[in-house]
């Protein structure tokens, strides 16, 4: 974080300053900000956040041992560290991020890109950050830091030397993206797709559209909206952009897109695509598995070239990326038994894309195995969407369908109903039981997809299988 006096911080946060030791209101702090006391470094700022299962105030002592210079708290504590007492520590985190970003931006060098979408946010964020980091100091979220805590923590990592801030915005509820993007007012807003992810929390696909469009509304006037030309709901955001005087830059597979993939070939080693970028021809060889990641790459190229990065440079940098993120189409195991661990997140769209990738990369003498868990946050649509996944797995001729957990059982029942009645589909109540089965069932030539939402916990099963067949 940029250097800031304790008194300024107290004013920004609307809090009461309690100094300790040799500190005064003019004492400067500039360390990293975090809500995890274990990650605090000397000079850092610890935000004591109440949680569902514990309370950050219990760990202020640990933060002090780690070297914290300041604690942002909701009640004054008898601890040997300066404190700013605020009504709401999470709201204070947002206020601090807004102030820091505005002060760095006022110097004129910082460019901000915001990314949202039902799927692909983290992959696109990582791809864009890889492109930009060769041009200047780039700050981007760790993992999926895209909520009311993670997004501000990322913003607070910027310094006076930062040239690019790439922010990922998730939507836990209507208004969430508007709030987070409003902290930084991006120069470029990237909208990837509007799908069924989180539809249960929003009340349907149209409500999801309105939530995702909040990023366009929050992008600065005269900025740029980078939109998916192939998704009708994303394309329908164009008038919102025009109302704010924003330019629109399209990416996709269709002729409307200025950044376009015209031919795509998928293999077990990655994806090759012929591209047109503003009328110029290029070839992209992406090592990240899955045809669907081509769209994420197109979005990253569209944003990067809008920031002045030559298309050839952007493509060359993308070709150095080996995986999008841990637990996202992550190749594990060996050539003998290849495990694809994609169990950090799942929605109907990403589940379908992963299953299609499994079918595409499996050779004629190899066997497809799909290890599937529940998709979360679908609400009233959960039964129907889990049925669709079971049906799709059968239609793609997945040769072994392993369904895990009661929340995912309908995938198994639908697979059985659609023709997988001769042992092709099996069900297990938990990951341990499935591991015992797979440890003896998997054989040379198997290509295994492990796919579920994070809450199902199958990412750890994928890791175990990867180690077993390494």
Across the range 331-348, mean pLDDT stands at 91
Q: Categorize the per-residue pLDDT at 135 as very low, low, confident or very high, splitting at 50, 70 and 90.
A: very high
Q: Categorize the per-residue pLDDT at 142 as very low, low, confident or very high, splitting at 50, 70 and 90.
A: confident
What is the per-residue pLDDT for 344?
A: 86
With vertex at residue 409, the alpha carbon angle to CA 459 and CA 463, rounded to the nearest 5 degrees, is 15
Phi, psi for residue 456 in degrees, rounded to 5: -75, -20
Task: Give the class (CATH, top level) of 4-87.
Answer: alpha beta
Residues in the chain: 470
Within the chain, all domains assigned CATH 3.90.190.20 are found at: 330-468
Across the range 204-229, mean pLDDT stands at 91
pLDDT for 54 beyond 90 = no
Helix 311-318 vs helix 121-132: crossing angle, to nearest 10: 120
pLDDT for 203 beyond 70 = no
Alpha-carbon distance 47 to 73, whole Å?
A: 6
Token pair in block for residue 286? 């992406």
* Domain spanning 107-318: CATH superfamily: Mur-like, catalytic domain (3.40.1190.10)
Alpha-carbon distance 408 to 60, whole Å?
A: 40
CATH number attached to the domain at 330-468:
3.90.190.20
What is the per-residue pLDDT for 204?
A: 66
Strands of 152-246, DSSP E: 164-168, 188-191, 224-228
Higher model confidence: residue 194 or residue 144? 194
Which residues are registered as beta bridge partners of 340?
331, 449
Across the range 331-336, mean pLDDT stands at 92
What tens digit of pLDDT does each residue of 171-202 get? Answer: 777 899 999 999 999 999 999 998 765 555 55
What tens digit of pLDDT does each residue of 246-264 get? Answer: 999 999 999 999 999 999 9
pLDDT for 52 beyond 80 = no
Within the chain, all domains assigned CATH 3.40.1190.10 are found at: 107-318
Token pair in block for residue 409? 């059982």
What tens digit of pLDDT does each residue of 120-133 get? Answer: 898 999 999 999 99
**Contact by Cβ (8 Å): 294, 280:** no
Percentage, residues of the chain above pLDDT 70: 97
Across the range 61-74, mean pLDDT stands at 96
pLDDT for 391 beyond 70 = yes
Question: What is the distance in angstroms between the CA of the first residue and the CA of the last residue of the chain?
Answer: 41
Across the range 70-87, mean pLDDT stands at 96
What tens digit of pLDDT does each residue of 90-120 get? Answer: 999 999 999 999 999 999 899 999 999 988 8
What is the per-residue pLDDT for 200?
A: 52
Q: Categorize the per-residue pLDDT at 325 as very low, low, confident or very high, splitting at 50, 70 and 90.
A: confident
Task: Tell me the average pLDDT of the chain.
Answer: 93
């Amino acid at each position: 974080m940029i250097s800031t006096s304790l008194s300024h911080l107290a004013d920004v946060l609307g809090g009461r300053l309690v100094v300790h030791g040799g500190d005064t209101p003019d004492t400067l702090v500039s360390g990293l900000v975090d809500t995890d006391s274990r990650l605090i470094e000397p000079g850092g700022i610890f935000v004591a956040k109440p949680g569902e299962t514990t309370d950050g105030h219990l760990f202020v002592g640990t933060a002090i041992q780690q070297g914290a210079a300041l604690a942002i708290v909701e009640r004054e504590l008898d601890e040997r560290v300066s404190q700013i007492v605020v009504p709401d520590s999470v709201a204070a985190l947002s206020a601090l991020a807004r102030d820091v970003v505005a002060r760095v931006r006022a110097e004129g060098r910082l460019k901000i890109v915001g990314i949202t979408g039902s799927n692909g946010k983290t992959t696109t964020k990582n791809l864009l950050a890889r492109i930009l980091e060769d041009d200047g100091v780039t700050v981007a979220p760790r993992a999926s830091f895209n909520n009311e805590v993670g997004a501000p923590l990322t913003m607070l990592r910027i310094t006076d030397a930062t040239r690019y801030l790439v922010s990922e915005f998730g939507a836990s509820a209507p208004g969430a993206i508007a709030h987070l993007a409003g902290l930084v007012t991006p120069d470029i807003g990237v909208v990837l797709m509007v799908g069924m992810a989180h539809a249960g929390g929003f009340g349907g696909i149209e409500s999801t559209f309105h939530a995702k469009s909040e990023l366009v509304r929050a992008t600065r006037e005269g900025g740029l909206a980078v939109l998916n030309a192939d998704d009708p709901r994303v394309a329908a955001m164009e008038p919102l952009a025009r109302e704010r005087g924003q330019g629109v830059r399209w990416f996709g597979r269709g002729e409307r897109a200025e950044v376009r993939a015209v031919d795509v070939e998928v293999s077990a080693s990655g994806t090759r695509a012929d591209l047109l970028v503003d009328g110029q021809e290029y070839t992209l060889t992406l090592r990240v598995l899955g045809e669907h990641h081509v769209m994420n790459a197109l979005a990253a190229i569209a944003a990067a070239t809008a920031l002045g990065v030559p298309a050839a440079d952007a493509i060359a940098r993308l070709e150095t990326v080996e995986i999008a993120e841990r637990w996202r189409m992550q190749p594990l195991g060996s050539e003998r038994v290849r495990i694809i661990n994609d169990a950090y997140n799942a929605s109907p769209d990403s589940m379908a894309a992963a299953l299609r990738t499994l079918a595409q990369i499996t050779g004629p003498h190899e066997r497809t195995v799909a290890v599937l868990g529940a998709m979360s946050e679908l609400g009233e649509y959960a039964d129907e969407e889990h049925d669709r996944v079971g049906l799709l797995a059968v239609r793609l001729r997945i040769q072994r369908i392993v369904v895990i957990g009661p929340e995912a059982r309908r995938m198994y029942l639908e697979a059985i109903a659609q023709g997988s009645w001769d042992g092709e589909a099996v069900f297990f109540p938990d990951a341990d039981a499935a591991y015992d089965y797979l440890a003896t069932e998997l054989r040379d030539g198997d290509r295994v997809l492990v796919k579920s939402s994070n809450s199902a916990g199958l990412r750890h099963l994928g890791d175990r299988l990867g180690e077993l067949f390494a």
